[in-house]
Structure 1
């Protein structure tokens, strides 16, 4: 089992920040952030939209050398230049061991990754990249199937995997299957950092959960998170909640 982090922590170089009134430094979580320590196995970044979790995740990925739109270290395409400058203002502390594999998966730009794979394979240099994703074009699968094919085939273990909302295209059953895949990867000496809205995914045991809120970043247990409490409240009495929502 993994005895040390591939990535230990990320520190915001606050003295270098030009102004905390400018994006992305004006995001609630970044205004108070100093250092975030990562679990050697799985770390979850959660919170409502606009709190900065995906922005920080992207900055960590870029600082490590990943393409802002996703993929492995050797993906260098760009369909649009929209990533923030945050990567230039953080310090990522690495562990003793160097990962043998890595991948940055983000739901919003996965289509672009799939397109880039097809473009590189058409150029015909070396083995087909799609073979490492299961052999079937990602565009010839549903969004959810393409995601899951990537988790199963492309993630080889002994790696660092940074995932931004991996549940976006997955049914609840597939999200449970993702938990199994996460556990397999952890057993294969991998470290995962995941931004998610899914209480199912964040239920992975022993993981650290950081909730990004208006008043900063807080370490939580699953049952303490707003995501879990909201979903529990809904399913405990969904008729009452729906009535309240539709009759305000």
Structure 2
């Protein structure tokens, strides 16, 4: 998985797509869910217009994509060329678009990307943030967290995320779907479990109420990935 890219609504943003010399693939980056000029949207041979058509990027060459994100939200950038091979070798990453003036806070803004470890959809494991065994995380009681979930598996629909305490879902609040804020009617606390398809993103707010052990679990048929979470009490700064 590539790094999380941060942009801001209304600000110009560019990204260079290139290839390591000596490989035979021709990667180009597609900006999933973002409205931008077709030429820069990473579909070789199809993007663009009669004046210019999006090229494949040959070994040693590069291509600079220009855009101005019109909406804040959770998005994905990923290959759109030899998708199965390139996706399952890590040519993807999250794109977070913030509101103007907003600062990205990785402590309270957590991103979870589910993908595949290889092209065999019946044998290769599920990954979360590029790992079969993602590192444990820590949250603090009473603090609010935005949890952003992305499914960039090649074709796995009905992948399920659930946030569990003692095998039962805790409660979270839906915030956004595919980069669009949800209407107030849908922003109500609910059980912390969600199924989603390839290419979809979901945002939730979670505010832990008690200290203890949680488990963020990903399930798809026989594949399971678990990310342990420790919820700890907030330090009482008045006692310093």
| TM-score, normalisation: structure 1 | 0.28
Q: Compare relative contact order (CA 8 Å, sep 6+) and give the higher one, 1 or 2.
A: 1
**Structure with the largest fraction of helix:** 1
| TM-score, normalisation: structure 2 | 0.28
**Structure with the largest fraction of strand:** 2
